[in-house]
Amino acid sequence: MPTTVSDSPERWPVESSRDLYRGDWIVALRADVVRRPGAADERAFERWVLEHPGAVVVLAVDDQERVCCLRQYRHAAQGRFVELPAGLRDADGEDPVETARRELREEAELEADDWRPLFDLYPSAGNTGDLDKARDELNQCGQPNGFTTGISYRAERPKEKATAEALQQSLARVGINLEIKPYPLTDYLKLYAGKPDFAKANNLGLMVYGWGADWPDGFGFLSQIVDSRAIRATGGNSNLSVRDPEVDKLIDQAVTTTDTAAREKVWVDVDKKVMDDAYIMPGIWAKGLLYRPPNLTNVFITNGFQMYDYLAMGTTRK
């Protein structure tokens, strides 16, 4: 019988605690001196704790399938970003959905008729990565001292190189050594990172890649990147890591469900299963700004490729 893996509550003894910051703002930072249970002979250690009430993010979609986005200035990053409406859960006892309603109303002056929770995520304490948890996972898989593996990226994509370098630095903190390996964009999946025997022979444990579906529904987005039956020995694969019978079973359930709302819920379950088991880590969300001059006519977006239908366009210019 399969073993169920799940989180569990646990409290380790705190010998002392001091505030590093505590002011009028709802977020505070403290330092705790912690001792591991049953290890009286070990030295206690300090852990910084960011006290945060939690937050909500709202994916608001209208009848034309347009997503509400805002432009927000973020001082720490020194930039103005395109974001979804969001906000802190700073009202005591308020249900997360009510917080989401309030934020959508306050930030975008919008109301929604239908509310559905998509994900309930628990961020790493301190926003710096949980090194103790990572080391514990390494112990459980028999690699207490870490290991070495490769990470590939498309040589012509500087953002993918930066992603690989960031992961290399981050994972090195727990003894995981990433060897960065660039490959040509044109044959990246066909001959290199997407070819099972090549990936195995070159020890490619991680592959940096981008994905956009030809058709914006659950099947279009997910079938080629999470269905193990889509993996071909000849190469050209955008999925080599997700080989889970439970995921395949959910995909079969989705494609045979005729009710649209029920089918979309199953696709959400597929996505959540893949994310919960950490087969895929979302990194950079690529965005492009298209300028449309006022003399352009017959402009519409085709769902097939999620972009302008350029063949249908016209102009008022003579």
Q: What does the pLDDT read at residue 79?
A: 83
Q: What pLDDT does residue 133 have?
A: 82
For the chain, counts of helices (H) and of strands (E):
7, 14
> What pLDDT is recorded for position 151?
97
- Is there a contact between 113 and 119 (Cβ–Cβ < 8 Å)? no
Task: Calculate Rg over the CA atoms of the chain.
Answer: 23
152 class by beta-carbon count within 10 Å (0-12 exposed, 13-18 middle, 19+ buried): buried
pLDDT tens for the chain, 318 residues: list them: 556 666 777 888 999 999 988 887 778 889 999 998 888 888 898 988 888 888 999 999 998 889 999 998 888 778 888 999 999 888 888 888 999 999 999 999 999 989 988 877 666 655 566 788 888 889 998 999 999 999 999 999 998 998 899 899 889 989 999 999 999 999 999 999 999 999 999 999 999 998 877 787 899 889 999 999 999 999 999 999 999 999 999 999 999 999 999 999 999 999 999 988 889 988 766 666 777 888 999 988 887 767 788 888 999 987
Amino acid at the residue 135:
R
In whole angstroms, give the CA distance from residue 311 to residue 302.
11
CATH architecture group of domain 129-276: Roll (3.10)
The angle at the Cα of 294, spanning 289 to 298, to the nearest 5 degrees, equals: 90
Cα dist from 26 to 51, 74, 129, 212, whole Å:
8, 18, 22, 38
DSSP structure string for 212-231: --SSSSHHHHHHHHH-GGG-
List the chain domain ranges: 14-51, 56-108, 129-276, 288-318
